[in-house]
């Protein structure tokens, strides 16, 4: 219980600190570009038209809504984080790890300090996948509310003003399915990311790192972080499509024509983004350059 409370408090603190970053990222993902591109130079010294980065975007939001404006959607996101941590922990408790270590291994809570057999690593990853998936499904309604609270910035709406009121609004207009808009690509992205990360980290730790060297633990933790970053890059399109489907055709300007197309399902959204070359939109908030072949529309504050 104490461990869960500690994880909730730590997670809540990190959520508050990272919320402005997520807020800006979501606005970029849906294609909102309130500031026109400016002429600058890239790392090679060549002149290119650059889009506003994280800090310029944050200043724009503060200018309109004040510093508190950077924290729109924080309440439902905190609810999602708290509930997700509790559900994840409860599921793992019911599915305790039974890993086969070598006979000369000593017990430790850090499973990554061992050269696990691929079968054992697969079992661990499967249990972690089930726990994460359960947490994602349970908390997805709060994730949808968070995204819609953020996207209201585009049309200056106030349709989703609080957690309870947002729940009533979604249920009245879209029914139960409205709470799970964008769930499938989000689940697929989580599953693929977890398997890619854990399998790569396992093979690197088992076959590329010599246990006799010093600082082996630090090296293995570093490899886990690197593989996690690599996996997140590969699965980013699932995150983008999920977020777009969560706000698509929900009654907000940011999810309706002419600002955004209406997608019948997430596969159509994926296909449309792929055709336009926008599968990595919002992946980076620094050194953003003007998309090739795109025109900036001042009235709609987006590219075409």
Predicted confidence at residue 93, as pLDDT, reads: 86
Predicted confidence at residue 160, as pLDDT, reads: 94
- The 3-state secondary structure of the chain, one letter per residue: CHHHHHHHHHHHHHHHHHHHHHHHHHHHHCCCCCCCCEEEECCCCCEEEECCCHHHHHHHHHHHHCHHHHHCCHHHHHHHHHHHHHHHHHHHHHCCCCCCCCCCCCCCCCHHHCCCCHHHHHHHHHHHHHHHHHHHHHHHHHHHHHHHHHHHHHHCCCCCCCHHHHHHHHHHHHCHHHHHCCHHHHHHHHHHHHHHHHHHHHHHHHHCCCCCCCCHHHHHHHHHHHHHHHHHHHCHHHHHHHHHHHHCCCCCHHHCCCCCCCCCCHHHHHHHHHHHCCCCCCCCCCCCECCCCCCEECCCCEEC
Predicted confidence at residue 166, as pLDDT, reads: 96
Predicted confidence at residue 94, as pLDDT, reads: 82
Query: What's the half-sphere exposure (Cβ side, CA atoms, 13 Å) at 250?
Result: 34
* Rounded-to-integer distance, Cα 281 and Cα 241, Å: 10
Predicted confidence at residue 19, as pLDDT, reads: 97
* Rounded-to-integer distance, Cα 20 and Cα 202, Å: 34
Q: How many residues does the chain have?
A: 304
Q: Where are the domains of the chain?
A: 2-96+121-293
Give me the residues of the chain with pLDDT under 50, please.
Answer: 97-116
Q: Residue 298 corresponds to which tokens in the numbers above?
A: 């001042």
Predicted confidence at residue 50, as pLDDT, reads: 83
Which CATH number does the domain 2-96+121-293 belong to among 3.40.1080.10, 1.50.40.10, 1.10.3720.10, 3.40.30.10?
1.50.40.10
Ramachandran angles phi, psi of 53, nearest 5°: -90, -165
**pTM of the full predicted structure?**
0.87
Predicted confidence at residue 116, as pLDDT, reads: 47
The string of pLDDT tens digits covering residues 178-191 is 999 999 999 999 99
* Rounded-to-integer distance, Cα 145 and Cα 166, Å: 7
Q: Residue 43 corresponds to which tokens in the numbers above?
A: 């790392």
Nearest-CA neighbor of 276 among 263, 290, 289, 292? 292
Predicted confidence at residue 119, as pLDDT, reads: 66
Predicted confidence at residue 246, as pLDDT, reads: 97
Predicted confidence at residue 163, as pLDDT, reads: 95
Predicted confidence at residue 202, as pLDDT, reads: 79
The string of pLDDT tens digits covering residues 211-265 is 666 566 666 667 778 888 899 999 999 999 999 999 999 999 999 988 889 999 9
Q: Which residues contact 104 (CB under 8 A, 6 or more apart)?
A: none
Q: Which residues contact 38 (CB under 8 A, 6 or more apart)?
A: 49, 50, 52
Predicted confidence at residue 112, as pLDDT, reads: 44
Predicted confidence at residue 107, as pLDDT, reads: 36
Mean pLDDT across the chain = 85
């Amino acid at each position: 219980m104490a461990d869960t409370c500690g994880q909730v408090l730590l997670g809540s603190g990190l959520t508050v600190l990272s919320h402005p970053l997520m807020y800006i990222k979501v606005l970029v993902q849906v294609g909102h570009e309130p500031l026109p591109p400016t002429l600058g130079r890239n790392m090679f010294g060549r002149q290119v038209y650059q889009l506003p980065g994280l800090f310029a975007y944050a200043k724009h939001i503060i200018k309109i809504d004040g510093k508190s404006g950077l924290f729109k959607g924080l309440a439902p996101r905190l609810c999602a984080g708290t509930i997700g941590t509790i559900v994840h922990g409860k599921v793992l408790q019911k599915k305790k790890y039974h890993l086969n270590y070598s006979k000369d291994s000593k017990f430790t809570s850090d499973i990554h300090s061992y050269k696990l057999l691929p079968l054992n690593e697969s079992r661990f990853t499967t249990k972690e996948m089930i726990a994460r998936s359960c947490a994602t499904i349970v908390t997805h309604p709060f994730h949808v509310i968070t995204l819609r609270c953020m996207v209201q910035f585009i049309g200056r709406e106030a349709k989703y003003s609080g957690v309870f009121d947002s729940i009533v609004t979604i249920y009245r207009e879209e029914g139960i399915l409205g709470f799970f808009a964008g769930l499938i690509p989000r689940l697929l992205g989580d599953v693929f990311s977890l398997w890619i990360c854990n399998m790569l980290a396992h093979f690197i730790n088992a076959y590329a790192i010599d246990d006799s060297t010093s600082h082996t633990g630090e090296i293995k933790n570093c490899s886990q972080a690197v593989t996690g970053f690599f996996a997140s890059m590969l699965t980013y399109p699932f995150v983008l499509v999920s977020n777009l489907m969560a706000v698509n055709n929900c009654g907000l300007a940011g999810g309706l024509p002419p600002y955004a197309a209406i997608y019948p399902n997430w596969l159509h959204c994926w296909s449309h983004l792929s055709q336009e070359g926008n599968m990595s939109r919002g992946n980076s908030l620094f050194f953003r350059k003007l998309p090739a072949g795109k025109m900036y529309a001042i009235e709609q504050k987006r590219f075409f």
